[in-house]
Every structure is written in C-alpha cells, then in structure tokens.
C-alpha cells in the first residue's frame, strides 16, 4: 500500500509541482548534482551509484554546505530490506578535554580552526557503499564531480548567497596562516564568485580522482593522509594519519517507530534521528484534524521540545550512551512526556526513563532500490581549514562535544560526538514508501517530524509537504516561524505563551527532499525544497 495523498492539492505558494518518473529519480538541493546522479542511472548504475555520484558532485557544486572532509549517513533500501551506514568519524586520539583546556578553551570547543576537526568519514563511506551495493566502478561514479571541479560550473543563486555570507564572515574571523588555503581555494581574488560566474577547483579534482582510483585508500593511508597529517602538525592540530588509518564506516541497524500505520526510520545515535522518533511517539497520542490550526502547532512544538532536551542530554557515541534507545521510544515514556503538554507553553527539562552548514539527497531506481543520504561539513564550510592544493574542506564536528566530564556527550579521544545530520525513510506494511530528509543543523529532527506529519496526518503530496510553512524551536519558549505562517496562527501561539520570532529568511528552516514510490505501479513522485536551488531529476 502506498502513501495516500491528493496529488492535485497545493495549499501553499510554490514555484514547483510534484515530479513523476518511472525508471529513476534523484532529488537534491543543486540541479547539476541531481542531473549527474540521473545520468549515472541512465548509464546502467543503480540508486546507490546515483547517490554517491550526487554526493560527490555536491562537494563541488555546493561547497557552502559540505566537502570531501565531511561526515555522512545513509539509509539504503535494497531487496526489501533497509540498511544503515554511519559515516561519521571519531575524535583524534590526541584530542581530550585536558588538551583543549590547555589551549584556553574552558567552556566549549571552538567553531573554527584545527581543534574541532574530527576524522572525516565521507570518502570511505562512499567507497563502502559502492563496494557493497553499487553496480559501477567508483571511477565512473565520481567522474561527473571530477569534471565539474576540473572544468568549472556556474554558481546557482542560493549557493552564491551563502558563499558570499561565508567569505564576509571568514574575513572577520579567520585571521591565522592556517586559514590561507581556504581563501586561496574559495575566494582566490579575495571575493566570492557570484551567481552565474564560473568556479573551478583543480585540487579538488585531483583529490576526487585519487579517491576514485584507490577506493579512498589514499585518503586514509596514502598520499592524502600524509598531506593532512603534515598540515595538522604544522599548525598544532590534533588530527593524525594514525587517526585516519583507524577509521571504518559502520553498518548499523536503523531504528524506527510506527506512526499511524507507517514505520518511520532513522539512523541510531550518534545521530539525532532519535529526537524525531520520540517526538512522533509523543504526538501520536493526540488527534489532529487540520494542519493549520493553533492546537496542532502547539502540540507539535511542545512534543518536539520535550524530545529535543532528552536528545541533547543522552545522545552521543552509541558505545557511551547511558539510556537505552528502546526506553526513550517506549509507549510508557511517551505517555509520561505527553502528560506534560497542556494549554500553555512550557520550558522543557530532560526526563529520565526508568531503566529495565549540510546537503541531503534522495535517489530511486527502476529495480526498487532507494537511498536516503546526507552529508555535511557542519557549519557551512566547516572549520575553515582546507588542506593546501587538495580542495579538502575539513568539517568542525568536534564543536558539538561537551567539556563537562559529567555529560554523556563529553569529549574523549576516539569517541564520536552527537551528530546533527540524519537521513529519514518511510515504509508501510514492510514495503518501501521512500526516502525523505530535511537538512539544517538542529532543525533536522524538527523538519522530519513536520514532513512526516504533513504526509501521514494531512495527506499532502511530496511537494506540498515541503512547501508548508515551518517552525523551529531553539530554546526555552522561543520558537522561530517563517513569514509565510499566517499571522493569526503566530498570534495565537503567542497567547499560549510561546515567544514567537518571525524570520525574514527561510534558509534556517532546512532544505528537504522527498521521493515516494507506488509499490503497485513503480511510479515515483518527488518533491524538492523551495527554499533553495533544488531539483528533482526524473527519468
């Protein structure tokens, strides 16, 4: 049974319609990357090949959100089973609370520079996905990304906007010599490229070619690993080639809750997908008759707040978690958290169960394979560290570690931190409905919850589910809402005690993609984010 929605209902302003296809589909935030993935399908590749090709292209055509030095996660539907891949890296062995405090950081790790860089997981995750499920050699799969890096491409409008913001910010904040390679790579003339202007990165192309030809071995054990090691030693960073050599992506069992007959799937911790599942479990106890009502919004927000503070307290490296996942997702605990939701906004506190800058893409092929894939440098361009001559922009995931030794997510050498990026997947009666995701830092579980409810509770088609105005809880009683949210609803939420902040820009509310598949006909229906340059490429 497929998801039920009205394909002709478009209740929200949008420039886009649902896109349909039969043989294959790729949805992501950048048109050139989507088309590259579709080209791989037409050349005989499958959804996994298309996902890797699209992800690699995104490191070139949307470097404001991800890079070769990223982490990633994937949910892969193959032969009637869902597989999870954790492509996040661990803290370097030399990175400890004591070492960080000796550098003068007493309360948190810095956002930029050498210190917050953990082991990048993406290149090896690409190779692992290709090895286990791909059809084409990695050299063919990465060829489109190499071509864009080598020969250049014109910037799309939203990309140019965020590139400009990053350059202006980095000019103020990144003053050390260790950041020179970032400016040489992404602002070689001291200015960002503009919309429609060609940009290329020969070093990026060289690195991607090496990853393709060695199945990422060069990045973790060979010449590239040596370059990374040398640069971090030069500027007293912590990452070493031994840390790179020790890294392996992990195949994991996805976690899920059943929400009104649909199974909603997420990657388990250290990802924050657990928060989306707990929030859905809490709201399942309410009845919703319409999406655009103050009661619906209030109950959604309150449930998300309660789930989020739990996640922020307990989510960390799965080997270090003190509370079992199944307890946080249990009916009994959901009832306990739900009982805290009344008519007024609350300031949430974490409960205790009784023990007993990201890119997202979705792909599908004619054989029924589907991929939900997410990849990120974290805060836009990440740490601001680029390995000279390589195009490798390093992520800054270590910033999420706590320096409080009593916190579940405290920094330890070799540990994985709480991770914001999460791919989602929907099934019904053991059949794939399809991949979905909403990127954007701590917005992601909030976006997942809203998209799932738009689909399951309110029967919106994939495009309308993404078009709908979003809200984002930040802390306490503060809730940011998009300007497109009707004023009377924002005012009604305020009367319930919410501190409503109306945003002038939709960028902070995430960028999502959806592909649903009809199991009877094989027809694919895709939606893409109106808040960015996205595209659904279909065949």
Which residue numbers are catalytic? 358
Q: How far apart are the first and last CA of the chain?
A: 23
Q: How far apart are CA 430 and CA 473, in angstroms?
A: 33
Could you give the CA distance from residue 460 to residue 117 in angstroms, rounded to a whole number?
40
Classify residue 282 by burial, with Cβ atoms within 10 Å: 0-12, 13-18, 19+. buried
Instruction: State the Cα angle at 199 between 66 and 218, rounded to 5°.
Output: 50
The answer to whether the Cα torsion of 212, 217, 223, 224 is positive or negative is: positive
Tokens 């609350």, residue located = 346
CB-count burial class (<10 Å; 0-12, 13-18, 19+) for 360: buried
Question: How many Å apart are CA 509 and CA 451, to the nearest integer?
Answer: 12
Q: Among 339, 125, 276, which Cα is nearest to 211's? A: 125
* Phi/psi-derived region of residue 430, left when phi > 0, alpha when psi is between -120 and 50, beta in every other case: left
Paired with 478 in beta bridges are 475, 499
Check if the beta carbon of residue 86 is closer than 8 Å to that of residue 271: yes
């Amino acid at each position: 049974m497929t998801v039920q929605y009205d394909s002709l209902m478009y209740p929200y302003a949008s420039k886009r319609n649902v896109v349909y296809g039969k043989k294959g589909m790729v949805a992501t935030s950048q048109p050139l990357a989507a088309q590259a993935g579709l080209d791989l399908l037409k050349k005989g590749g499958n959804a996994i090949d298309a996902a890797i090709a699209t992800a690699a292209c995104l490191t070139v055509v949307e470097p404001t959100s991800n890079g070769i030095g990223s982490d990633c996660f994937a949910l892969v539907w193959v032969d009637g089973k869902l597989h999870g891949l954790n492509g996040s890296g661990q803290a370097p062995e030399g990175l400890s609370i004591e070492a960080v405090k000796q550098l003068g950081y007493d309360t948190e790790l810095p956002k930029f520079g050498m210190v917050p860089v953990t082991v990048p997981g993406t290149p090896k995750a690409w190779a692992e996905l290709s090895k286990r499920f791909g059809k084409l050699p990695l050299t063919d799969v990465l060829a489109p990304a190499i071509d864009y890096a080598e020969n250049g491409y014109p910037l799309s409008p939203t990309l140019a906007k965020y590139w400009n913001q990053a350059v202006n910010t980095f000019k103020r904040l990144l003053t050390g010599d260790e950041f020179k390679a970032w400016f040489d790579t992404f602002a070689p003339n001291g200015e960002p490229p503009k919309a429609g202007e060609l940009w290329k990165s020969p070093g990026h192309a060289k690195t991607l070619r090496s990853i393709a030809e060695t199945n990422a071995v060069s990045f973790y054990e060979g010449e590239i690993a040596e370059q990374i090691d040398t640069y971090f030693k030069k500027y007293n960073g912590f990452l070493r080639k031994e840390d790179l050599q020790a890294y392996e992506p992990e195949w994991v069992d996805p976690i899920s809750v059943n929400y009104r007959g649909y199974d909603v799937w997420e990657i388990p911790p250290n990802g924050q997908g657990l928060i989306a599942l707990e929030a859905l479990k809490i709201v399942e106890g309410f009845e919703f008759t319409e999406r655009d009502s103050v009661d619906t919004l209030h109950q959604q927000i309150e449930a998300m707040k309660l789930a989020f503070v739990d996640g922020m307290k307990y989510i960390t490296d799965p080997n270090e978690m003190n509370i079992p996942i199944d307890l946080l997702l249990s009916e009994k605990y959901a009832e306990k958290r739900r009982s805290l939701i009344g008519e007024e906004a609350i300031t949430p506190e974490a409960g205790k169960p009784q023990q007993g800058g990201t890119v997202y893409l979705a792909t599908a092929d004619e054989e029924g394979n589907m991929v939900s894939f997410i990849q990120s440098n974290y805060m836009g361009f990440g740490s601001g560290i680029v390995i000279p001559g390589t195009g490798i922009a390093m992520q800054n995931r270590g910033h999420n570690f706590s320096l409080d030794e009593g916190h579940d997510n405290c920094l330890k050498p070799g540990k994985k931190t709480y991770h914001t990026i999460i791919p989602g997947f929907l099934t019904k009666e053991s059949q794939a409905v399809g991949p979905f995701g909403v990127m954007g830092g701590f917005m992601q579980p909030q976006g997942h919850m809203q998209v799932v409810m738009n689909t399951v509770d309110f029967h919106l088609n994939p495009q309308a589910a993404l078009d709908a105005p979003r809200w984002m809880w930040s802390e306490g009683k503060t809730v940011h809402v998009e300007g497109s949210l009707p004023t009377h609803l924002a005012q009604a939420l305020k009367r319930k005690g919410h501190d409503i902040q109306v945003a002038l820009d939709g960028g902070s509310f995430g960028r999502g993609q959806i592909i649903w598949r009809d199991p009877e006909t094989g027809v694919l229906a895709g939606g893409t984010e109106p808040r960015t340059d996205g595209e659904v490429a279909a065949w």
